[in-house]
A and B are shown apart, each in its own frame.
Chain A
C-alpha cells in the first residue's frame, strides 16, 4: 500500500449532543475538525492539535478524550458531547456556573476544554484534596494561568454533589 493523496470518504452515524446524524467525511478528518468545520460546533477549540493542551476535550460515550487525536471514522455509532451540549447561557451546567463564580478563566480559549475535563472528572476516581484535582486536570493547559480559580471552581461543584 503506497500513501496517496486522493481523498477517501466514509459515511458514519454519530450522536452529537443528543442529535443523531449521518455524515460523510474524508477519512483523515479528526473528530475535532468534524465538530468545528462540519458541524459548526466551534465551542471546542483547537490548540496544539497533538493531544498536548486539552483545549479540544470532549466526551465520547461519557468519557473525556482529546478530539484532535482521534479520527471521526473511529466513532461510528458513538455519542459525543461538546460544551454546547452541556448547558445554555440561560441554563448553565453547575460547572459552567462555578467557572463564572470563581473567575476560572481569563482569555477563555482553554475554558471549554477545562470544563469538559472537569465535568468528566466528577465521575472518575479522584481524591478529595486540591492536589488530586490538579493531577487529574494536568492535561488541560491554561496559558493565562487561571489554575487556582479552576481548582476552586471544581472543588465547589464536588462539594455540592
Chain B
C-alpha cells in the first residue's frame, strides 16, 4: 500500500475544504474520505485506490438517525449498516431497506460499513480489482477484457461498449425503490440529489460513477414519509445462501387496494451498472390485478432492454423470476 497523509478534520467544513483540493472525486482520486473502510482499504491494498490523503470522517457528527421535518427519515452518513437495518423505524416503515442491508456482506462488515460508504461502493468486477489487467473504469482507454472474458457476475442493464461492471450494493437498490435523496455538502454549499440521479451510467466514462465532485461530502440521506399500508420485499438470489453478492435482486414497495396495484416502486440489483429503478415495471403494474400474469408482464417490461454478455445470459430469466417472486411475496 502506498502511504498517505491521515487527516482528522475538526468539522465537516474542514473535511470539505481539505477534500476540495483533490483533482477528482472519482476513480484515481488523490483525496479520499474514509468511514467504514470496507471498500476503500480493500482497494488500497490492491493498489486500485492510491490516495495521497485520507480524511477520517468517523468523528464528525454524522452518525444519527432522526425523524425528518416532513415525516420522513434522516439517516447520517456514518450510521453503520447494522444500526440502520435494526433501527425500529426502519424495520417498521422502510423494511425493504432493513431486508436489503441484512442480505449483504457479513455481520462484521455491516458493523463497519456506513450509509455514505455503501452509496459509493465499488464494483466487484475482477478486472477492475486486478491492476495487471486493462480496465476502462480503473484506467480509461485501456479496454474492457470483461466483455470477452469472465462476465458471469456482470451487468445486463445499462452497459456500454466500454464497461459492463455491476453495481454491487443491496442498500442502494432498496433506497432506489424508496426514492431516497442524498444530501451533499460541497465547496459551494449544500445540495440534494435524488438517488436516481446520483449514480451514472458508464457510457464512455466508466471511471465516473457518481455526480460527486472534489470536496463533496455526503452528510446524510433522507427517505420520504412512509407509504401507508405499503408492502415491502427485498429478494436476493445468489450462488450461496449467505455472504455473497447478488446475481439478481429485487426491491418492491407496493400498495394494493381491492385486489389491484395502486402504487409500485421497483428496483433491481445485481443486473445493472447502477442501482436499477424500473419505471417500466412500475407502469406495467399499476392498475393491474395482483396475479401471476401481471407480475410476469412487469418482469418482462423491466428486462426488455437487457443485453446479455457471453456468460451471463441466464441473468435475464433469473431477474424476471426474481421480480415475479418478490411481487408474489409482497402480495401473499
Contacts and interface: CB of A to CB of B under 8 A. Distances in A.
Contact of A66 (B53, B82, B108): B108
A47 to B, nearest CB: 13
Interface string A57-77: 100000111100111011000
Nearest to A1: B52
A80 to B, nearest CB: 14
A50 B45 contact: yes
A137 B2 CA distance: 33
A138 B106 contact: yes
A49 to B, nearest CB: 7
A117 B107 CA distance: 9
Q: Do most interface residues of chain B lie in helix, strand or loop, or is the interface mixed? A: loop
A23 B37 CA distance: 21
B105 A139 contact: yes
Contacts of B105: 139
B130 interface: no
A154 to B, nearest CB: 13
B52 A2 contact: yes
Contact of B108 (A3, A71, A135, A139): A139
Contacts of A63: 82, 111
A16 B13 CA distance: 33
Given A4-B2, A74-B58, A135-B242, A66 B41 contact: no
Nearest to A134: B242
Given A57-B108, A120-B107, A50 B2 contact: no
B60 to A, nearest CB: 13
A10 B108 contact: no
Nearest to B85: A125
Contacts of A130: none
Contacts of B109: 51, 66, 69, 139
B4 A3 contact: yes
B34 A74 contact: yes
Contacts of A8: 3-6
Nearest to A4: B3
Interface stretch (A25-33, A81-89, A95-103): A25-33
Contacts of A3: 2-4, 30, 50-52
Nearest to B242: A138
Given A54-B108, A71-B6, A74-B58, A1 B38 contact: no
Interface string B97-126: 000000001111101100000000000000
B45 A64 contact: no
A117 B108 contact: yes
Interface in A123-148: 124-125, 134-140
Contacts of A65: 108, 111-112
A5 interface: yes
B22 interface: yes
A1 B30 contact: yes
Nearest to B111: A63
Nearest to B32: A1
A122 interface: no
B3 A28 contact: yes
Contact of B112 (A5, A70, A135): A70
A10 B7 CA distance: 10
A124 B107 contact: yes
A18 interface: no
B63 interface: no
6 contacts: A1-B4, A3-B50, A7-B3, A8-B4, A69-B112, A138-B242
Interface of A: 1-8, 10, 26-28, 30, 49-51, 54, 57, 63-66, 69-71, 73-74, 117, 120-121, 124-125, 134-140
Interface of B: 1-6, 21-22, 30-31, 34, 36-38, 41-42, 45, 50-54, 56, 58, 82, 86, 105-109, 111-112, 240-243
6 smallest CB-CB distances across A and B, nearest first, come from A139-B106, A1-B52, A138-B242, A3-B2, A138-B243, A3-B50
